[in-house]
């Protein structure tokens, strides 16, 4: 594989992880299983061709619905579980699930890790979750991290998504060690730049090139900032007051974060400063795309900042996304991946995803897939449940009474008919 293709493949995969793909041409053809992709598939969210992001957008949709007390339809959950390969891994999309996966080229870390998060949140598929975690463990690199697929060198995005999978299942990612004893955080911190960089790049995470040189990247930073907190995409709303961002202290030029909490704090400070300098947003990190504001990347940053309790910092990108002049509603409308990311970010910040610039993001999301039902516990009070029970009881007695009257009437008719026959 040529170096340039490898770079584009990695970043294409990372784009899927953020549901912010701007062009299908960025992603490699290897993400599909080679089968034709239908415009729609029973149980799948969204109508666009799923070959590059089917598993991703489905997993995100389930997480977003879970966050907003909407019970994901069984059909949707089963669709995701049905995409799993025999060895526990996931491809980006399998048009024909009867066809065996290619374990060397058809299964990917990001898809597997996010599917584990989605299935763990919805429940009912414990075996699939266990197999997914088993696949991740089997493909963990010696540095403690993960690459795009089996045999790929570790990178910040895949490592971050895998960390989220373990966190989502109640496991401590720090205890998921490779043969040499290194854990995912060891690998993740290795991608962060420290005090030996320019002031506006301190705390940023970077992609390694073919020679190992780290290139700063905001996409990597948004993912790593969340993973450093030991969290996946489903984040509970922050409690308590705002936690101010704290820039990396650089009394020593060789200093850099040495543990996950300090790495997350430094990344959050970098993101907050970058967003402030840009006027509320982040610019695209994708190769081959026009320079400009990136709503998907900005959404990722809002989620990561909110997850760290940096509510004031998270409020700035959310306000930018909230402004109708930015076309956010048009950007996300009809796209389950984008809608899900917005729902998760707004939810994490403690705001209302059902009223985002006058738009009900939850309703728009559910409209892209099979019919969902609201969780009874979140929509009915105890009094409402008692009234419903009483009404049901009354209804049953009405049915019994009507049946009794009807039976009496039928008895008279039968009796009369018998008498007539005897005459």
pLDDT at 240: 81
Instruction: Report residue 71 as tokens.
Output: 């019970």
**Rounded Cα gap, residues 238 and 310, in angstroms:** 9
Report how many helices (DSSP H) and strands (DSSP E) the chain contains, helices first.
16, 4
SS3 call for 24:
helix
Residue 376: pLDDT above 70? no
What pLDDT band is residue 261 in, cutting at 50, 70 and 90?
very high
**Rounded Cα gap, residues 246 and 249, in angstroms:** 8
**Rounded Cα gap, residues 359 and 113, in angstroms:** 30
Q: Which residue has the higher pLDDT, 281 or 32?
A: 281
Residue 279: pLDDT above 80? yes
What pLDDT band is residue 331 in, cutting at 50, 70 and 90?
confident
Contact of 278 with 256, CB cutoff 8 Å: no
pLDDT at 237: 94
Residue 341: pLDDT above 80? yes
- Encode pLDDT of 106-134 as tens digits: 999 999 999 999 999 999 999 999 999 99
What pLDDT band is residue 253 in, cutting at 50, 70 and 90?
confident
**Rounded Cα gap, residues 154 and 208, in angstroms:** 9
Residue 89: pLDDT above 70? yes
Residue 271: pLDDT above 90? yes
pLDDT at 209: 84
Residues 6+ apart with CB under 8 A from 142: 178, 179, 180, 182
Residue 150: pLDDT above 90? yes
The reported pTM is 0.81
- Encode pLDDT of 166-216 as tens digits: 999 999 999 999 999 999 999 999 999 999 999 999 999 999 888 888 999
Task: Please identify which residue in the block is written with the tokens 């619905």.
Answer: 65
Q: Find the range with the poorest average confidence among 13-22, 145-154, 210-219.
A: 13-22
Residue 72: pLDDT above 60? yes
Buried b (16+ CB within 10 A) or exposed e, 194-223: bbebeeeebbbbbbbeeeeebebbbbbbbb
Mean pLDDT confidence for 39-61: 91
Mean pLDDT confidence for 58-87: 97
Residues 6+ apart with CB under 8 A from 12: 21, 26, 27, 28, 31, 52
Average pLDDT, the chain: 82
Mean pLDDT confidence for 231-257: 89
pLDDT at 256: 87
- Encode pLDDT of 280-327 as tens digits: 999 987 666 767 899 999 999 999 999 999 999 999 999 999 885 466
What pLDDT band is residue 28 in, cutting at 50, 70 and 90?
very low
By C-alpha distance, which of 92, 67, 65, 64 is closest to 80? 92
pLDDT at 401: 44
Mean pLDDT confidence for 134-149: 97
**Rounded Cα gap, residues 50 and 93, in angstroms:** 6
pLDDT at 358: 87
pLDDT at 337: 97
Q: Find the range with the poorest average confidence among 10-14, 61-65, 106-110, 224-228.
A: 10-14
**Rounded Cα gap, residues 265 and 308, in angstroms:** 8
pLDDT at 324: 56
Range among 137-151, 364-378, 389-403 with highest mean pLDDT value: 137-151
């Amino acid at each position: 594989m040529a170096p340039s293709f490898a770079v584009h493949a990695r970043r294409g995969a990372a784009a899927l992880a953020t549901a912010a793909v701007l062009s299908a041409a960025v992603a490699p053809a290897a993400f599909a299983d080679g089968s034709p992709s239908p415009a729609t598939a029973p149980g799948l969210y969204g109508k666009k061709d799923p070959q590059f992001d089917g598993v991703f957008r489905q997993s995100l949709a389930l997480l977003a619905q879970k966050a907003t007390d909407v019970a994901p339809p069984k059909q949707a959950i089963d669709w995701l579980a049905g995409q799993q390969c025999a060895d526990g891994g996931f491809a980006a999309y399998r048009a024909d699930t009867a066809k065996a996966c290619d374990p060397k080229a058809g299964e990917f870390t990001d898809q597997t890790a996010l599917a584990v998060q989605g299935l763990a949140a919805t429940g009912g598929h414990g075996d699939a979750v266990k197999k997914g975690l088993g696949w991740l463990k089997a493909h963990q690199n010696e540095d403690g991290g993960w690459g795009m697929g089996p045999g790929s060198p570790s990178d910040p995005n895949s490592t971050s998504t895998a960390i989220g999978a373990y966190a989502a299942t109640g496991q401590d990612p720090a205890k998921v060690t490779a043969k040499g004893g290194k854990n995912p955080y060891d690998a993740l911190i290795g991608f962060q730049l420290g005090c030996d960089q320019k002031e506006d790049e301190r705390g940023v995470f970077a992609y390694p090139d073919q020679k190992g040189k780290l290139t700063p990247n905001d996409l990597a930073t948004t993912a790593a900032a969340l993973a450093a907190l030991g969290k996946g995409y489903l984040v509970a709303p922050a409690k308590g007051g705002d936690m101010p961002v704290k820039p990396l202290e650089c009394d020593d030029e060789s200093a850099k974060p040495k543990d996950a909490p300090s790495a997350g704090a430094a990344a959050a400070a970098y993101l907050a400063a970058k967003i402030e300098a840009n006027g509320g947003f982040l610019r695209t990190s994708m190769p081959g795309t026009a320079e400009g504001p990136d709503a998907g990347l900005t959404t990722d940053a809002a989620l990561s900042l909110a997850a760290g309790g940096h509510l004031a910092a998270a409020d700035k990108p959310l306000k930018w996304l909230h402004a109708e002049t930015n076309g956010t509603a048009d950007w996300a409308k009809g796209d389950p991946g984008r809608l899900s990311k917005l729902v998760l970010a707004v939810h994490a910040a403690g705001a209302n995803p059902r009223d985002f610039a006058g738009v009900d993001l939850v309703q728009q999301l559910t409209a892209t897939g099979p019919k969902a039902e609201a969780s009874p516990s979140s929509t009915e009070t105890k009094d409402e449940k008692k009234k419903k029970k009483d009404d049901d009881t009354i209804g049953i007695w009405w049915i019994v009474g009507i049946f009794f009257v009807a039976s009496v009437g039928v008895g008279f008719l039968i009796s009369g008919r018998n008498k007539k026959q005897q005459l």
